[in-house]
Structure 1
Amino acid sequence: MAPSFVSDENSLFNFVVRDGNGVKGMVDLGLSKVPEQYIQPPHERIVKLNANSQNEHTPIDLSKLDGVDHEQVANEIVNAAEVLGFFQVVNHGLPLELLESLKDAANKFFAQAPEKKAAYRKGVSPSPYVKYGTSFVPEKETALEWKDYVSMVYSNDVEALSYWPNECKEVALEYLKTSIHMVKKIVNILIEKLGVTIEDSKLDALIGLKIVNMNYYPTCPNPELTVGVGRHSDMGTLTVLLQDGIGGLYVKVEDYMNAGKKGEWIEIPPVPGALVINVGDTLQIISNGKYKSAEHRVRTTSGQSRVSIPIFCTPNPTEMIGPLPELVARDGVARYRDMVFGDYMNNFFGNAHEGKKSLDYAQIN
């Protein structure tokens, strides 16, 4: 028996979005079918693909960067960034116990009573750096996404420990701080392989704004009709993602070489102990299109709820981004314009997910 408000569009929106109950709050009241507001148009639905459509590339062993295999591993990272925009890494320096604690903390946060989570929704949160919400831009979406989240922007340790939710603040902060060395190493390699040298201060500015999200995908009675996250690319430089063991992340192939058929969606299967790395729009822009910010999406499941925990490493909002001048000179053309990253970010968050349409804002026609 579905809650009575499900049949009323305004009542459902108020309950789930404005009152902060989220998708989980709706599911916990009992649902036998997906409400109409969550039914995606047929072309946006995710058909669970067979095993042959999984990404069969083995994870990259980052520990080998410190040995005789450095060049080989660096080339693997570059190839993945050029072809698919996604790769998985192992021996990354983050303790496996930390990754398990992260998943536990995320589940603990979302298991709370709705009013505890709703205390962090936009407009009432005790800090502008913490936001609890659902879907992506609910007010602008024709079909809502089957996801709740808490987003934590890092400014400094004191702010994080004072205002991030108690259920996850310490482990989320440790996750962020222990991942930064890995992120810098990967971005350094990608910049160096462009044949360009940048100052350390520029590198730091390209990953200066860091955001930890905890995403929760409740069980869904009709997963074939919904999406957990719609088609999109990430706005920043690099994203680090911890998946749980359930899976559901799909990436669109943009290139024929070594990745699959162009336009095909392939699954990035969970690998125990691995982290997923993906290229963001910023890296595509500054590389003048050499690196690809892959379009990706997330399916739902009827079997069990799942969590994922990304770290979005983005430029500082005041940072100017655009194709590196050396690459424009070499390529003979600038494919993207120079802009303040804060403007790009505002455009990104001001629209519903629609593939890589966010890059149109930076494109030179």
Structure 2
Amino acid sequence: MIPRLRNRSAMLPASGVFFEIINHGVPLHVLDAVKEAAHRFFGLPYEERNKYWAGNSLTDTVTLKTSFVPQAEAALEWKDYLSFRCSPRDLESFPLWPPVCRDEVVDYVESAKSVIRKLLEVLLEGLKVKQIDKAREYTLMGSPIVNLMYYPHCPNPDFTAGVRPHSDISALTVLLQDDNGGLYVRATQNDSWIHVLPINGALVINIGDILQIMSNDRYKSIEHRVPPMEAKTVSVPIFVNPGPDAVFSPLPEVLESGEQPLYKEVVFSDYFKYFFSKKHDGKKTMDFARI
């Protein structure tokens, strides 16, 4: 997988598409187990799930939520999600995580670390970055988040959405879909929506806003959405995020020929807070970083 991607690293992300990878090194039993764990958690009685709602959870490293920004939405998105912060420091709270899914979440994120790093190395090679040192590793992948996404059957799909159109604020997003799929991406040529059909054992790779900014628009994050689902559906994204206090901007290697930066320096925690202060609205979050 990686050698073939290496040969196409300048073409795939810049063309504005998601791509799916197989033979990525994450065992199939790990992928199946984390999907099953998502179903187990959301099948718990309300009283058990309620222990992890934001405000109830004993640790802020795991929280159960519904819409991403409920205070800014006229109609809530038709989903629930359990969010795990998975940096080494966050993993110290592991004993406080739900027993029905915590082992599977950790196995998934740990198993994916190798392919995530290889993908970032290939993409940064296309930006003339020779190696990812400790500082850049923190800027690219210092605070990963894993979400167990649950989309119940929606009886009135005309009045809501699963997830509204947006681009991710990560460097990369690695998405595991179940057999129902549901992910749609916006085509860059004609603004139509393309259904990303699930492939057994595959991971969907999505360039996030952080890489678009660091590449000075050579790589592009793409809008995507999930409609209300007819059948109970789960998906499990890993958001490969910078550390909270990491500062990002166009890379020096990108600007070394005199190219002007399109974005200012931004602290990731500020970008994160801005994203969650408003409803999803395409790629408008990026205006926060534009010069």
TM, length-normalised to structure 2: 0.95
Match of 2:206 in 1: 278
- In the alignment, does 2:213 pair up with 1:290? no
Q: Distance in 2 between matches of 1:313 and 1:191?
A: 15
The amino acid across from 1:221 in the alignment is P
Query: Does structure 2 conserve the Cα–Cα contact (< 8 Å) formed by 1:106 and 1:168?
Result: yes
Q: Distance in 2 between matches of 1:275 and 1:123?
A: 32
Match of 2:181 in 1: 247
Question: Cα–Cα, structure 1 residues 219 and 331, in superposed 2: closer, same or farther, change >3 Å?
Answer: farther
Q: Distance in 1 between matches of 2:233 and 2:64?
A: 17
Query: Does structure 1 conserve the Cα–Cα contact (< 8 Å) formed by 2:121 and 2:132?
Result: no
3-state SS, counterpart of residue 118 of structure 1: helix
Q: Write out per-residue CA displacement over residues 313-334 of structure 1, whole angstroms, 9 at most, x where no aligned residue.
A: 1000111100012212336211
Count of equivalent residues: 289
| Shift in Å, 1:248 | 1.1
**Quick one: which of 78, 98, 105 aligns to 1:165?**
98
The amino acid across from 2:118 in the alignment is K
Listed as ranges, the gaps of 5+ residues in structure 1 are 1-61, 255-260
- In the alignment, does 2:30 pair up with 1:102? no
Q: Distance in 2 between matches of 1:228 and 1:169?
A: 25
Question: Which protein is bigger by CA-based radius of gyration?
Answer: 1
Query: Does structure 2 conserve the Cα–Cα contact (< 8 Å) formed by 1:153 and 1:212?
Result: yes
Question: Cα–Cα, structure 1 residues 220 and 199, in superposed 2: closer, same or farther, change >3 Å?
Answer: closer
**Pairs within 5 Å for 1:114-125:** 114-125=46-57
Q: Distance in 1 between matches of 2:136 and 2:98?
A: 30
3-state SS, counterpart of residue 52 of structure 2: coil
**Pairs within 5 Å for 1:68-87:** 70=3, 72-87=4-19
Match of 2:78 in 1: 146
Match of 1:324 in 2: 251
Match of 1:53 in 2: none
Match of 2:269 in 1: 342
Q: Distance in 2 between matches of 1:74 and 1:345?
A: 30
- In the alignment, does 2:238 pair up with 1:306? no
The amino acid across from 1:272 in the alignment is N
The amino acid across from 1:344 in the alignment is Y
Query: Does structure 2 conserve the Cα–Cα contact (< 8 Å) formed by 1:85 and 1:291?
Result: no
Query: Does structure 2 conserve the Cα–Cα contact (< 8 Å) formed by 1:160 and 1:169?
Result: no
Q: Distance in 1 between matches of 2:236 and 2:5?
A: 25
Considering fraction of residues, name the structure with more helix: 1
Q: Distance in 1 between matches of 2:66 and 2:225?
A: 16
3-state SS, counterpart of residue 310 of structure 1: strand
Q: Distance in 2 between matches of 1:155 and 1:163?
A: 15
Q: Distance in 1 between matches of 2:229 and 2:72?
A: 25
The amino acid across from 1:195 in the alignment is K
The amino acid across from 1:220 in the alignment is C
Match of 2:191 in 1: 263
Which stretch shifts more, 207-216 or 221-230? 221-230
Question: Cα–Cα, structure 1 residues 160 and 89, in superposed 2: closer, same or farther, change >3 Å?
Answer: farther
Question: Cα–Cα, structure 1 residues 282 and 220, in superposed 2: closer, same or farther, change >3 Å?
Answer: same
- In the alignment, does 2:107 pair up with 1:174? yes
Question: Cα–Cα, structure 1 residues 139 and 360, in superposed 2: closer, same or farther, change >3 Å?
Answer: same
3-state SS, counterpart of residue 239 of structure 2: strand
Match of 2:166 in 1: 232
Query: Does structure 2 conserve the Cα–Cα contact (< 8 Å) formed by 1:236 and 1:281?
Result: yes
The amino acid across from 2:61 in the alignment is Y
Q: Distance in 2 between matches of 1:296 and 1:77?
A: 21
Q: Write out per-residue CA displacement over residues 150-193 of structure 1, whole angstroms, 9 at most, x where no aligned residue.
A: 00101337524312211110010010001011000000100011
The amino acid across from 1:248 in the alignment is G
Q: Distance in 2 between matches of 1:122 and 1:98?
A: 27
Identical aligned pairs, as a percentage? 43
| Shift in Å, 1:262 | 2.8
- In the alignment, does 2:152 pair up with 1:218? yes
Provide the alpha-carbon RMSD of the alignment. Answer: 1.5
Q: Distance in 2 between matches of 1:358 and 1:85?
A: 19
Q: Distance in 2 between matches of 1:331 and 1:227?
A: 44
Q: Write out per-residue CA displacement over residues 185-212 of structure 1, whole angstroms, 9 at most, x where no aligned residue.
A: 0001000111233542133211010111
3-state SS, counterpart of residue 155 of structure 1: coil
TM, length-normalised to structure 1: 0.76
Runs of 4+ residues deviating >4 angstroms: none
